[in-house]
């Protein structure tokens, strides 16, 4: 049995490097940039107005006051998308938000700050100013947001809606990204059943358990941006499991990863290690000093496909994904190791040292405005109901015993690819 730190180091060093490909911007959400992307031009690409108002020269209105109002004739109108109307000395040009600024304009006076004179058709013919605008008032300067060659995303950036906004503004239609992994999921257990396809609900028969691990893992992987293939429930024999693995290997996709649940402990029907050995897989670790999920297994198949054998209890499978599969995906995408949040613990938690414990938890803002994590009741590995209430995990190191209320603890959000630190 090895420590979690040792297991994590193995995952990071043996994670495959997913190849780069080009994806349309509309399909890049949640994917990892495979290279640096820089601005190709200035944004804004021209000086424009930040307000509906009137473009003016400073010299024409610098002496305006309530005692000495300045009247400027309005000689043109520039709307967004129009070429700028010319602005001569002693004149003003009506301008709309986002419209190109006339070359000589030095400020924009908002329409609500001036008195307007209109002709019989309602067109503005003159404005009266009782104060002078500040230099550059209400002007968005060219390149004020992005300058050419500004870095928009770096290598390994997880692309969020915020990045897509910036890339779209810069005219980017496609981006270099890392491949999506293709993950095949296997379930084991003669007692395990899937709800029949198309059936609204079902009631288990005697000695039957409905398969919750595969739907959970498939959903979590899709949330992470992976392509997922469910390969079904495999009969509880070494031969059947080995045959299932060989079938996936024969049709392996780029970025192939295999996950199975169950049959990795030390019982008579825990055949996964033997099946892997028969396939000449390299078992990098089997059993880690953690709870839940101590029997977790990680291996490399002969063709370089990573394999995870996760325990069959639901909380163990969930912790296995969160703290083993997700770190491998981060490394494969070129993302840095995930830092925890440091938050206050709401209540004391008692446990002996010796194992790293992944505790279902809920982080909330208290009445004092301070975030604190509550360790949920029902930490047993078979319990699913607490999963409905967790929004993250408190991790207690193996060298620590009891956790005291008010102390700082490591907290990992439920989403391992949360953009919190992006």
Amino acid 393: pLDDT: 97
**Is residue 29 scored above 90 in pLDDT?**
yes
The number of distinct structural domains making up the chain is 4
Q: Which of 347, 343, 357 is nearest to 396 (CA)?
A: 357
Same domain, 221 and 85: no
Same domain, 276 and 415: no
Final residue belonging to a domain, choices 305, 333, 361? 333
Percent pLDDT > 90 in the chain is 88
Amino acid 420: pLDDT: 60
Amino acid 64: pLDDT: 96
Same domain, 282 and 325: yes
**Is residue 120 scored above 80 in pLDDT?**
yes
Element housing 60 (H / E): helix 58-61
Q: What HEC string does 214-245 produce?
A: HHHHHHHHHHHCCEEEEEEEECCCHHHHHHHH
- Rounded CA separation 325/259 (Å): 9
Amino acid 80: pLDDT: 95
Tokens of 379: 């930490």
- Rounded CA separation 127/113 (Å): 10
Least confident range of 133-137, 203-207, 328-332, 362-366: 203-207
Cα-Cα-Cα-Cα dihedral sign, residues 101, 95, 52, 92: positive
- Rounded CA separation 185/192 (Å): 14
Whole-model pTM above 0.75?
A: yes
Tens-digit pLDDT profile for residues 128-166? 999 999 999 999 999 999 999 999 999 989 999 999 999
Tens-digit pLDDT profile for residues 250-303? 999 999 999 999 989 876 668 999 999 999 999 999 999 999 999 999 999 988
| Block residue for tokens 């709309």 | 96
- Average confidence (pLDDT) over 32-42: 95
Tokens of 197: 């396809």
Amino acid 359: pLDDT: 98
What's 170's domain CATH number?
3.90.105.10
Of 367 and 69, more confident = 69
Amino acid 301: pLDDT: 96
* Maximum Cα–Cα distance across the chain: 98
Amino acid 123: pLDDT: 95
Amino acid 366: pLDDT: 87
Tens-digit pLDDT profile for residues 371-404? 999 999 999 999 999 999 999 999 999 999 999 9
The DSSP symbol for 159 reads: P
**Residue 59 neighbours by CB under 8 Å, 6+ apart:** 89
Helix axes 326-333, 4-14, angle to 10 degrees: 30
What's 213's domain CATH number?
3.40.980.10
Tokens of 323: 């703290």
Same domain, 407 and 282: no
Phi first, then psi, for residue 219 (nearest 5°) are -65, -45
Cis before residue 292, ω within 30 degrees of 0?
yes
Same domain, 119 and 33: no
Same domain, 359 and 391: yes
The bridge status of strand 256-261 relative to strand 306-310 is parallel
Same domain, 245 and 205: yes
Same domain, 77 and 186: no
What's 102's domain CATH number?
2.170.190.11
Percent pLDDT > 70 in the chain is 97
Q: Which of 112, 109, 73 is nearest to 92 (CA)?
A: 73
The mean pLDDT of the chain is 94
Same domain, 68 and 126: yes
DSSP per-residue string spanning 258-311: EEEES--SSSTT--HHHHHHHTT-EEEEE-BSEES-TT-EEEE-TTS-EEEEE-
Same domain, 189 and 324: yes
Tokens of 315: 């909380």
Final residue belonging to a domain, choices 333, 360, 392? 333
Tokens of 215: 């739907």
Same domain, 365 and 255: no
Amino acid 245: pLDDT: 96
Same domain, 78 and 207: no
Tokens of 331: 């490394």
Evaluate whether 260 touches 186 at the Cβ level (below 8 Å). Answer: yes
Tokens of 319: 């912790």
Domain carrying residue 209: 4-19+180-333
**Residue 76 neighbours by CB under 8 Å, 6+ apart:** 85, 86, 87, 93, 94
What's 352's domain CATH number?
2.40.340.10
């Amino acid at each position: 049995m090895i420590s979690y730190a040792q297991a994590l180091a193995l995952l990071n060093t043996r994670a495959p490097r997913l190849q780069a490909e080009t994806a349309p911007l509309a399909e890049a959400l949640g994917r990892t940039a495979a290279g640096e992307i820089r601005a190709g031009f200035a944004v804004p690409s021209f000086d424009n107005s930040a307000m509906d108002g009137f473009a003016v020269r400073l010299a024409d209105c610098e002496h305006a006051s309530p005692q000495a109002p300045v009247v400027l004739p309005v000689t043109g109108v520039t709307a967004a998308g129009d070429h700028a109307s010319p602005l001569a000395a002693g004149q003003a040009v009506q301008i709309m938000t986002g419209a190109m600024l006339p070359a000589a304009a030095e400020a924009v006076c908002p329409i609500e700050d001036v008195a307007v004179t209109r002709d019989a058709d309602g067109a503005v013919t003159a404005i009266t100013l009782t104060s002078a605008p500040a230099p550059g008032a209400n002007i968005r300067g060219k390149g004020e947001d992005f300058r050419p060659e500004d870095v928009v995303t770096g290598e390994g950036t997880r692309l969020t809606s915020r990045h897509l906004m910036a890339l779209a503004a810069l005219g980017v239609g496609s981006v270099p990204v890392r491949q999506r992994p293709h993950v095949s999921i296997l379930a084991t257990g003669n007692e395990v059943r899937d709800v029949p396809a198309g059936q609204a609900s079902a009631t288990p028969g005697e000695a039957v358990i409905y398969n919750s691990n595969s739907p959970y893992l498939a959903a979590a992987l899709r949330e992470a941006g992976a392509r997922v293939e469910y390969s079904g429930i495999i009969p509880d024999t070494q031969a059947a499991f080995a045959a299932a693995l060989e079938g996936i290997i024969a049709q392996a996709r780029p970025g192939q990863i295999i996950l199975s649940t169950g049959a990795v402990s030390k019982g008579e029907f825990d055949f996964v290690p033997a099946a892997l050995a028969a396939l000449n897989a390299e078992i990098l670790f089997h059993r880690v000093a953690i709870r839940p999920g101590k029997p977790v297994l990680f291996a490399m198949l002969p063709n370089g496909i990573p394999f995870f054998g996760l325990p069959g209890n639901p909380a163990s499978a969930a912790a296995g994904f969160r703290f083993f599969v997700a770190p491998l995906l981060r490394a494969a995408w070129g993302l840095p190791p995930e830092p925890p949040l440091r938050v206050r613990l709401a209540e004391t938690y008692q446990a002996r040292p010796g194992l790293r414990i992944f505790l279902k938890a809920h982080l909330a803002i208290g009445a004092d405005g301070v975030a604190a994590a509550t360790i949920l009741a029902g930490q047993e590995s078979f319990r699913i109901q607490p999963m409905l209430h967790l929004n993250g995990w408190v991790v207690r190191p193996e060298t620590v015993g009891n956790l005291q209320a008010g102390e700082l603890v490591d907290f990992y959000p439920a989403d391992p690819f949360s953009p919190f630190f992006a």
